[in-house]
Structure formats: structure tokens, C-alpha cells
A and B are shown apart, each in its own frame.
Chain A
Amino acid sequence: MRSDRARTVLTLVVSGTMLLTSACAVANSDAAGDAGSAGGGTLRVVLTQEPPTLEPCESSLTATGVVVRSNVTEPLVERDPASGRLEPLLATGWRQTEPTTWTFGIRSGVTFQNGRPFTARDAAFSIERAVNSDLACNVDGYVFGDEKLDVRAVGATRLTVTTRTADPILPLRLSFVEIVPRTTDTTAKVRIPVGTGPYAVGKWETGVSISLARNDRYWGKPPTYPRARYVWRGDASVRAAMIDKGEADIATALDPVDAAKDTTVAYPNNETTALRLDGREAPLDDIRVRKAIGMAVDRMGIVDALLGGLARPAAQLVPPGVVGHNDGLATTPYQVAAARKLVQRAAADGVPVHRRITLVARNGQFAGIAEVAEALQYQMARIGLNVRIRMADTATHLQYQLRPLPHGVGPIALLIMHGNQAGDAAFTTSQYLLSDGPQSTFGTPRLDRRIAAANALSGKARQKAFAEVLAYQNEKVAQYAYLAHMRGLLGLSPSVRYRPDSATGDEMRLAEVRPVAAGNR
């Protein structure tokens, strides 16, 4: 009968409801005690995205490095972001014993989080695994290029590393290699690392959180917080809200809109934004046009209006503090009329200035990038160029960014953001300035020679040589129209004290975070 049918349907609906609600209860049974409450000794950090992996040899990836580096694993040598000097960590000292060989003294009395002792053999293994193996680690490409290293452990406390050609900054490069036990898998990347750092990975609840616990076997000074917990939220306003509400102690990558609050701290984050102009395609192959673009960009206007004042106009691809930064370079003055005249002169000489240039920018690369792209397009159009914008996702943007560069797309002005984590201009020039650099569209033989010469130097001579390389680039090659040295915005709850430095975006050292003692602030 009809009422029976109705009853059946009703029963189904009711039982379905009960099933779903009981499922809810089950799913939320993991109500950990410190789920968002302050105190209890857990440092709560909210990131922008879940790390794809915590494999230490991928720690040059920002999303991985911010959790792993110097928290779970440690390198032999650590760069001090403020002074730029290299500090001993798992190595006690180092010397260039031969032109192509560096010898490192290895610290004794250190144990891994799994109880095994740390010796030079583990250091040698870690370097081999990161650089010489088939794992295709990100560190390998970012820091070492095509180099193959000859690594040898001499006893338990000495390590020698030999390169093919003399490399004065090898210790700096090695600061990116995180040390793992020699029992780590060499055929596949690991998801959860073991290292020597002050925190050990406790639990990784996929999609939800990563929990760290203080390592009692740590060889150095124990950190203040016994536990740490990372969560992630894609939206910056939600991250800021978590700080305001006390659900998190540290929040990364907030929007410039929140810069005025006293729970936020701005810091220079090593990133520099610029327009890379494809010098192989007309009209960008004319240096007058390229320089005119540099003059047409209203850097201060963009910094004040679009970046919340949180950046400094740039004149080069490396920020202050990096070896090779040229303090004498002034930012190109904002001169629209002069830029227009330059373009007109080029046009009079037959350069096809009305050929459409495509400005490619990556969605979400930094807060406000779409508006910056629109501003740049408007400013370039004002001096007589024909520019259209193409917003792209990461994968598409990478196709424009890396060699082999795409064919048949016309002249491209690529909006890039380059982060020099290492602190030496060699990493920037080898990628962006060389004629065949993986992220460079063109160069000149003279610039290549200058870069090669600078690479062989060290100390003050190196600084001077690279500074001159950068000045030469601006004057004679002009592949880039610079925008700004960016600053990151960190949210800090009133109960913690932490001073971010230029490395914070890539490597947040939890041991440097201290709770504010009750009563003083």
C-alpha cells in the first residue's frame, strides 16, 4: 500500500541520518587534548599548504624545508641569515686542504633520533644520497647543478669532499644537505625523516596536521617548547583569523592588508620580483625597448598601493645581505616621458614596437600578483607597447620559465619571483644571467666570461666581482626590469616571542621561538 512505501522511504531516510551522524562522531573521536587551546607547551604553526613530503633531500622546496630544516634534520654547516657567515653545526670546522678538496671536522657525541650514533660515514652517505644518487633530489638541481662530488669519510670524525673544479663556496652549498642516518633508503625517497635535530616527527595525520616532539637525545641546547604542531590553511584571511582567535601561535604568509596589526611582523624574505624580457624576440630584442620598460615601471606606486608597503624597489635580482649584492646600484628612475621617447626612437629605426607582447604571471605566486600584472601591463601600454596579460597556473608558468622555452609564442615578459636562499649571487647568475642558464632567455659571451671569473674568486674579491657582474647586466644586457625585494608577513600570537629573519620563509627554526613569560612582554 502507498503508506507502506512512504514508511519504507522514511525508515531509509532516518537510518541514513543516524548512520551519517554516527560517522561524524567516529571521525571526530580524534579530539586531541590541545586541539587549538593555548598553553600546554605545544607550539602551533599554520602553514599555507601541506608539505608534499618531509624527505630531507627535498628540503630546498619551501613547503618541505620550513618543517624539516634545522628542526628535524640538520646540515653540517649553517648559514647565519643576518651576518651571512657560515656557522659550524654538525661539522666543527672546515678547511680547503687542496684547490679542489675541502676537509670537514665532524662533531662527535651526536645521536640520531633513532638512537644510532652520528659519524662521518653518515655525513658522507647523506651527501652521496642527495647529490650523486638517482633519486633526483631537488637539492641536487638547486644547489649543485651537474656536479658530481667525490665524498670520503676518513675515520669517524673527518670528511673530505672533492669537486672537479675549484669551488670556493662548497661549504655554503653543503649547508643545504640535511644529514640522515646511513640506513636510510637509497632507492626511494622517505616520507618521514630521521635526523639529529631538536625535534622528532611524532605523527603525520595526512591532510590534517604534523606533530613534532622534543628530541631528548639532542646534542645541543634543548628547545623551550616540548611539542610542536603544524596545520595548513589555503586562505590568508583564515590564517590571520587563527592568530586573532588564539588557535595558532605562528602564521606564515599573511596578506599585506594585515600589516598594520601588532600581531604581525614583516621581514625581508630573500625574494625578488622582476620582469624577464625575452631578448630573442622583437621588439624585446632591442635594448632600448628593454630599458624603456624598466623606466616605465612605477615601483614605488606598486609597492605602496599593491604590496602594502611591504617591499623595497629593486635594482638587481639579489637582495641586500647576499654575497654579490651591489649597494651602489640605484633603482631605475620612473620616467614615463623618457621611456616613451626611447620606444619612439626604436620604432623610428624599424623595431616593430606594436608587436604584441605577452606578460605571463603565475596565479597566487604572491599576494596581489594579479593586480601587479595589470599595473605592469597598463604602465607598459602607456609608453607605446602592445601588451596582453596571460595568467597561468604553476605548471604552465614553469613551461615559460624553464628551458626548453616554448616556441612560437612571440615576445614574452615573464613575471618571476626569485628567492636566493643560499646567500651567494652564484646561484642567481648561473640560473638567470648565463646565456644558457636554465631560467635565462639569452645572454652575452662577455657576461658569461665575467660570471665564470667571479665564480672562481672568494672573499672580498668575489663580492666585488659579482657586484660588477650585476651592474654590467643592467647596463649592457638589460634582460630584466626589476620590481621589488619582497617582504614576508608573519603572524605571531602575543604569547610567543620570535624574530623572523630572511631565512624564515624557507627554514623556520622552532628552537628560536620562546614563550612570553607571564607578566612581562
Chain B
Amino acid sequence: MASFLRRRVVSSAIPLVFVVLGVFCLARLTGNPVDLYLPLSATSQQRAEFSAAHGFDDSLPVQLWDYLGNAARLDFGVSLRTGEPADAMVLEAFPITLQLAGMTMLLAVTGALLVGSLAAYRPQSAVDRLAGLLSMTAASIPDFWFAIMGVLVFGVALDWLPTSGTLGGPEVWVLPLATLLIRPFGVLVQVVRGSMVGALSAPYVKVARSKGAGALRVVFGHALRNAVTPVLTVAGDLAVGLVNGAVVVETIFGWPGIGKLMIDSILQRDFAVLQAAVLLTAVTIFALNILVDVCHALIDPRVRQAVPA
């Protein structure tokens, strides 16, 4: 396991470099942000000074070399917009998104495992159909629509919850989590049900039942473990999607997370912050994938044997 981990970490380093390079070049394709940050009547001399000060007038490879050199010294540049160091801004925003994403995935996975297993145990029953209908509906609602309706209904009309913001007790979490949850929950219920139906018709399940095993033990002891592989993969992908930016939720509810920071820095051509944010999220995504692989290996011994070199 240790060597497996080591190899995975090492082999993740090269893609990381690719991501950083790609973002670097792509961002600069959008041009020089001079117009956004200098006053209207800036003379061409002032523009030249601005470009020189930030290195925008150098060729792309030179800029890249400078950036990599600075990054090696852990200097990720300064935000053009606020003047603050980019890494500080990113590190402040990241935990918020991480908390949101973590809680969402936890609730979604747990709920989906329960509901999906229940539905798969008795296919075509009322529970199954209801679960199917609800999960499909949940997976098809536009998130910002749900969020705004939630604010209007639960925040204003019913006055049960605060409309937005991060200050307050657990009630500020309800609407943002619900908005983030519905799609992963809907998707996961489908996937769990799909693979559980397959797993429950496998021979060893019949053997277990004929040996007199109770329903719960059949489902959770035997079938679940073998059905969980695609579920894990899909859950991992959903988690990654959440980390990459719960942008809509952060925008509507005013949570200063990294999704909002990233889109703001894209729209305002704040390259340093964008690069730092992408670096951090890329590292997290790679770590998440390694975690998913480790779980795969733990759960399914056949995968462990065939572990890639």
C-alpha cells in the first residue's frame, strides 16, 4: 500500500505541471489586463510601465520561467485587483468550499446508499418507483433556480431560514447544502440502485439467502461491497465537480469560497489569483483521486492485485 501511494503521488506531479502550464497560457490568451486596472486616460507610457512591472510585455516562455521560478520559492504573486498576496487570498477562500463540498458529499453518499439499496431490494415496488421519480426529478432541477426559490420560499415567505450569508448557526448551512445536494443525491441514488440490482442477482447472494441470511445482512454485508465500485467512481467525480467550484451557490448565498474567487479572477483577468486557485484545486483533486483509488483497493482485493505500476 505504501509503495502504491508513493507511486501514485509521484505520477500525479507531471499532470499537475500540465494543468498549471495550461492555465498559464490560456489565461494570457485573453490579452493584457491593462485596460481594467489603469485609469481611463492612462498614457501609453503608463501602460508600458504597467506591462513592464507585471511582466506582461515579455514573451510567454519568459513569463512562464519567471512564474515557475517564483513558485519554487513559494511566491505566487500579488492580486492585480486587491494588491493582496494571491496565496493568502486563495488559502482563505478554500476551506469554505472544502467544508461545503465535504458535507454535501457525506450527506449525499449516505442518503443515496440507504435509499438506493432500499429501492434495489424490491425492484418495481412502490418504494422503488418513488425513489426513482424523486431522484430523477432531483437530478434535473437547475441549481440556481432551486436556490432562488429556496430563498424566496423558506427565507422570505415562510421565514424559517436566513436568506444568505455565512454568519449564524447551523441554519445558514441548510439552503446552500440543499442546493448543492440535490443533484449528487439524485445521481447517486440512480447509480446505487443500478449496481445494487445487478449485485443482488449474483449467485453468492442467492447462496446467502438460501443459507438463511437476513435481508439486511444480504444487502449490506454482501451485495453492497461489490456494488460500490461504480458508486465510488461516480461519487469521486461528483466531489471533484464540487471542489472545482460550487460557484452558483457561493454567488447566490454570498459564501466567499474558491469557486467565486476563481470566476471573479477569470472575469477580471487577475492572473496571479487564478493560477494560485487552480494550483490549489488541482492538488486537491489529485489527492481526492488518490483517495478514491485507495478506497477501491481496500474494498476490492482484485484491484489491489492488479495495481498499476
A and B touch in their complex, CB below 8 angstroms: yes
Q: Is B106 an interface residue (CB 8 A)?
A: yes
Q: Report whether A238 and B252 are in contact in the complex, using a CB–CB cutoff of 8 Å.
A: yes
Please tell me which one of the listed residues B31, B41, B106 contacts residue A399 in the complex, with CB atoms under 8 A apart.
B31
Complex: how many Å from CA A142 to CA B33?
A: 18
Q: Report whether B254 and A238 are in contact in the complex, using a CB–CB cutoff of 8 Å.
A: yes
Complex: how many Å from CA A80 to CA B41?
A: 26
Chain B residues within an 8 Å CB radius of A8: 298
B143 to chain A, nearest CB (A): 13
Query: Given the known A-B contacts A233-B164, A238-B252, A241-B151, are A395 and B31 also in contact in the complex, defined by CB atoms under 8 Å?
Result: yes
Q: Report whether A231 and B254 are in contact in the complex, using a CB–CB cutoff of 8 Å.
A: yes
- For chain B, the count of residues having a C-beta within 8 Å of the partner chain is 56
Query: Given the known A-B contacts A234-B251, A235-B252, A395-B36, are A9 and B95 also in contact in the complex, defined by CB atoms under 8 Å?
Result: no
Complex: how many Å from CA A431 to CA B39?
A: 12
Q: Is A202 an interface residue (CB 8 A)?
A: no
Q: Report whether A31 and B31 are in contact in the complex, using a CB–CB cutoff of 8 Å.
A: no
Q: Is A114 an interface residue (CB 8 A)?
A: no
Complex: how many Å from CA A208 to CA B40?
A: 30
Q: Is A260 an interface residue (CB 8 A)?
A: no
Q: Report whether B83 and A53 are in contact in the complex, using a CB–CB cutoff of 8 Å.
A: yes
Stretch with Cβ within 8 A of A (4 or more), from B60-68, B167-175, B274-282: B167-175
Q: Is A247 an interface residue (CB 8 A)?
A: yes
A430's nearest neighbour on chain B, judged by CB, is: B41
Complex: how many Å from CA A393 to CA B43?
A: 24
B266's nearest neighbour on chain A, judged by CB, is: A393
Complex: how many Å from CA A209 to CA B254?
A: 10
Stretch with Cβ within 8 A of A (4 or more), from B130-138, B152-160, B187-195, B236-244: B152-160
Q: Is A32 an interface residue (CB 8 A)?
A: yes
Q: Report whether B169 and A395 are in contact in the complex, using a CB–CB cutoff of 8 Å.
A: no
Please tell me which one of the listed residues A21, A140, A399 contacts residue B35 in the complex, with CB atoms under 8 A apart.
A399
Q: Report whether A188 and B95 are in contact in the complex, using a CB–CB cutoff of 8 Å.
A: no
Query: Given the known A-B contacts A53-B82, A241-B152, A394-B268, are A140 and B39 also in contact in the complex, defined by CB atoms under 8 Å?
Result: yes
Chain A residues within an 8 Å CB radius of B166: 27-28, 208
Q: Report whether B169 and A31 are in contact in the complex, using a CB–CB cutoff of 8 Å.
A: yes
A362 to chain B, nearest CB (A): 11
Please tell me which one of the listed residues A9, A27, A233 contacts residue B96 in the complex, with CB atoms under 8 A apart.
A27
Q: Report whether B39 and A141 are in contact in the complex, using a CB–CB cutoff of 8 Å.
A: yes
Complex: how many Å from CA A247 to CA B156?
A: 10
Taken residue by residue from 11 to 37, chain A's Cβ proximity to chain B (1 for < 8 Å, 0 otherwise) reads as 001001100110110011011100110
Query: Given the known A-B contacts A191-B82, A241-B156, are A208 and B167 also in contact in the complex, defined by CB atoms under 8 Å?
Result: yes
Choose among B41, B103, B267 the residue with the greatest number of A CB atoms under 10 Å from its CB: B41
Complex: how many Å from CA A234 to CA B249?
A: 11
Q: Report whether B41 and A141 are in contact in the complex, using a CB–CB cutoff of 8 Å.
A: yes
Chain B residues within an 8 Å CB radius of A438: 40-41
Taken residue by residue from 135 to 171, chain A's Cβ proximity to chain B (1 for < 8 Å, 0 otherwise) reads as 0111111100110000000000000000000000000
Chain B residues within an 8 Å CB radius of A36: 162, 165, 167-168
Q: Is B256 an interface residue (CB 8 A)?
A: yes
Query: Given the known A-B contacts A30-B167, A234-B254, A238-B252, are A191 and B84 also in contact in the complex, defined by CB atoms under 8 Å?
Result: yes
Query: Given the known A-B contacts A36-B162, A234-B251, A241-B155, are A52 and B82 also in contact in the complex, defined by CB atoms under 8 Å?
Result: yes
B191 to chain A, nearest CB (A): 18
Taken residue by residue from 19 to 60, chain B's Cβ proximity to chain A (1 for < 8 Å, 0 otherwise) reads as 000000000001101011011111100100010000000000
6 A-B pairs (CB sep. < 8 Å)? A20-B102, A28-B167, A53-B82, A139-B39, A233-B252, A395-B33
Interface of B with A (CB < 8 Å)? 30-31, 33, 35-36, 38-43, 46, 50, 81-84, 89, 92-93, 95-96, 99, 102-103, 106, 148, 151-152, 155-156, 159, 162-170, 172-173, 225, 251-254, 256, 260, 267-269, 295, 298-299
